[in-house]
Amino acid sequence: MATSMRNGVSAVKRVGLVPLLIRGQTRPFRTSSVLVKDHLCHPCINVLSGQGLAFRHLGVPSQTFSSNPQRWLSTSHRLCSETSDQPAEEAEQLHSIIQDSETVTGTPENHEFQAETRMLLDIVAKSLYSENEVFIRELISNASDALEKLRYLSLTSGSGVSGDLPLEIHIATNQEAGTFTIQDTGVGMTLQEMIDNLGTIARSGSKAFLEELQKDGQTGSTGGSIVGQFGVGFYSAFMVGDHVDVYSKSHQPDSKAYRWSSDGTGNYDIVEADGVQLGTKIVIHLKKDCWRFAMEADVKEIISKHSTFVGMPIFLNGKLMNTTQALWTKEPREVSDQQHEEFYQFLTHNSYDKPRYTLHYKTDAPLNIRSLFYVPSRPPAMWELSQDHSGGVALYSRRVLIQQKADKILPKWFRFIQGVVDSEDIPLNLSRELLQDSALIRKLRMVITSRLVRFLLDQRKKDPKTYEQFFTEYGTFLREGIISSSEQAEKEEIGKLLCFETSAQSAGSLTSLQDYASRMKAGQRNIYYICAPSRELAESSPYFEAFQRQGHEVLFCYAEYDELTMLQLREFDRKLLTSVESEMAVQNAGAETSDTETVEGSLTEEESDSLITYMKDVLGTKVANVKVTQRLAQHPAMVTVAEMGAARHFLRTALKNRSEEEKLQLLQPTLELNGSHPIVQKLFALKTSEPALARLLSEQNRSRKTNCVKKSLHHRMDFF
């Protein structure tokens, strides 16, 4: 051991000691705080700390060693070499202030819980929380509040802060004893504060709440209005503990220390104690079925889940837990792209992905909101969506996790968004686990949703090509938003994000509904579109041909749910969204008879009437009407149905199992024949010269003509 100590001292000489800056005060080399680099070995630290010196390693908060240095070093993995002068291997650095130094000095005084407190204890311990692990979150939150209060006092009064203890939260687990301990260096409590805070409900309104709760026979989520008015987090300790001890010493001058002790039934004891550090220490003696909370691995997971972003450092058995910064609390200009990328990877548990878009949104009006939103570089797979529909936005209040996946903060169609929302204005229920479905929450959702939509619109203006790629991959979610929304204003807001190819631009170029509206001809009232699997099929459609001759621009809708989206959107900026097929049906209904204008090379009026009579006889009830039209040039015929888009959707759903004849009778299609087309003229000639052959061909084509309606409904226009 002597050799190892000499090696350690040698390491100190090689590295050198430098003054340590603690809370703005540089202490001289000869006083109790110096900074030692990682080459310092344990025996050397032990020897020097025994002389009254205190050390910490680079990057580890300051710690006074003189009181009990061996305890701080007991779990370290670094061993000093006893035979070599080489530096010892670097080990994990531990830092803990938790010590078993408290002793009772007086006679315990027994107190009864206030009646309302007993009722509250019963509610919290038995039924309020759905998962008992949240007691850790509650106690950490309370400890953080105590530290924040102490920091505030130090800034406003200049007193009440000890230079020896940093603002920290420490947790220790003991599997052998079955205990969970949490200690903070916050404001602490006086005797009267212990009685007020731990034995009674001092806030007005809480008693009335509990009476109402008892009267209604309710003990669960309906009692949601206390948090924000009264903190009950401490009592959650009795969910997992059959006995709880609280040691506390106030930072007020000349304050004494006390121990509060209770089994959570009807009474508690308070007694004076020695060896208590400034702040508060809670020791929970765990119930036998809750001993998992004495296991470090389990507690570490819970801290990471609920309290990663608490503003104060949290140590578990000497190890710093919350190393990730709460970026949303910073000013947007202070956060680099690299920090955003790392934080996004932390949220998504994906170290390879990068966000496509990043929105750092902070506002104090109309609500207090601190938020970060990320659009992943790729959309989630269908199997990922089927597993979880609640979205990827976590909800915090003052950096304490409230809900891991808050499904009421964003609409369901925005569930691909990853991020964090932190708001002090959010109303919570007593356990902080469920949001009240209040007007305030709806307002928060509206504000955030509107901001995200504006953000995406801005991205389209800044970089149209990148946005078009985003829309190609995420357009299904936007369409879902329009289809699922019940508010027309919200539908149109989402509609601003839609993109389509158009007859006015070349293939591959996309336009928005706003851009289309800006190009509308004078007197045009409708926005026209056609649904087809591809541009080729859309442009070869007889409906588009007939409409193009009128000189109107037409949007091409290729996606599977585009038609349903347009039907649900109905109008945009006071302009009706109209399918060209439906418009053809409307124009057709306005002309009850066939076109009378004779075109050179076309059937005469008499020939047209003869062919119409013949086709009606052949097709029978499969069509509601037959006409000869001059609106077509390249196609021999087309089928029109009133409200073609709705009819197509109806055909795919409600009429799915009906027979073909039933479908046609319900759809009431009209067959329009192009009297100038050679196929139609040949059919007319066969009807006259070879009536048997013409009828045979017509009879053979009955099934094909039946399919014509279906194919027209699916835009495969291979008539005759």
For residues 48 and 73, the answer to whether their CB atoms sit within 8 Å is no
Q: Is 189 annotated as a binding residue?
A: yes
User: What is the C-alpha separation between 603 and 674, in angstroms, rounded?
Assistant: 9
Q: Where are the beta strands (DSSP E) in 235-381?
A: 241-249, 257-262, 267-274, 279-286, 314-316, 319-320, 355-363, 369-376
Q: Is 204 annotated as a binding residue?
A: yes
464-586 topology per CATH: Rossmann fold (3.40.50)
Q: Is 232 annotated as a binding residue?
A: yes
Q: Is 230 annotated as a binding residue?
A: yes
Give the type of residue at 356.
R
Buried b (16+ CB within 10 A) or exposed e, 22-33: beeeebeeeebb
For residues 494 and 414, the answer to whether their CB atoms sit within 8 Å is no
Write down the CATH number for the domain with range 591-713.
1.20.120.790
Q: Where are the beta strands (DSSP E) in 630-720?
A: 637-640, 670-674
Q: Is 233 annotated as a binding residue?
A: yes
User: What is the C-alpha separation between 313 and 167, in angstroms, rounded?
Assistant: 8
User: What is the C-alpha separation between 422 and 405, in angstroms, rounded?
Assistant: 13
Q: Is 234 annotated as a binding residue?
A: yes
User: What is the C-alpha separation between 684 and 609, in angstroms, rounded?
Assistant: 11
Report whether the peptide linkage leading into residue 366 is cis, meaning its omega lies within 30 degrees of zero. yes
The full set of domain ranges for the chain reads 2-73, 103-314, 327-461, 464-586, 591-713
Give how far Cα 703 sits from Cα of 276, 715, 719, Å. 93, 17, 11
Percent of the chain past pLDDT 70, that is, above it, reads 68
Q: Report domain 327-461's class.
A: alpha beta
What was the pLDDT predicted at 7?
42
pLDDT mean across residues, the chain: 75
Q: Is 343 annotated as a binding residue?
A: no
pLDDT averaged per 10 residues in sequence order, the chain, 720 residues: 41 35 34 35 39 36 39 35 41 84 92 83 68 87 86 69 76 96 94 85 46 51 34 78 95 92 91 95 95 96 88 94 89 94 87 91 92 92 57 82 82 93 70 58 90 97 96 95 94 96 93 95 91 88 79 91 92 92 64 54 82 83 79 76 61 61 67 82 82 69 45 38
Q: Is 280 annotated as a binding residue?
A: yes
Give the type of residue at 449.
T
Q: Is 231 annotated as a binding residue?
A: yes
What was the pLDDT predicted at 515?
96
In tens, the pLDDT along 368-424 reads: 999 999 999 988 876 555 555 556 898 888 787 777 788 888 999 999 999 999 988
For residues 519 and 532, the answer to whether their CB atoms sit within 8 Å is no
Q: Is 142 annotated as a binding residue?
A: yes
Q: Which two tokens stand for residue 479?
A: 């369409």
Contacts of 360 (CB under 8 A, 6+ apart): 327, 328, 332, 335, 340, 371, 372
Pairing between strand 34-36 and 18-19?
Answer: antiparallel
Left, alpha or beta for 553 (phi > 0: left; psi -120 to 50: alpha)?
beta
Q: Is 229 annotated as a binding residue?
A: yes
User: What is the C-alpha separation between 251 and 365, in angstroms, rounded?
Assistant: 37
103-314 topology per CATH: Heat Shock Protein 90 (3.30.565)
Q: Is 138 annotated as a binding residue?
A: yes
H runs (alpha helix) in 224-375: 296-306, 337-348
What was the pLDDT predicted at 316?
97
What was the pLDDT predicted at 228?
30
Q: Which two tokens stand for residue 540?
A: 């070869």
Q: Dihedral, CA atoms, 394, 398, 400, 403, nearest 10 degrees?
A: -30
User: What is the C-alpha separation between 273 and 253, in angstroms, rounded?
Assistant: 17
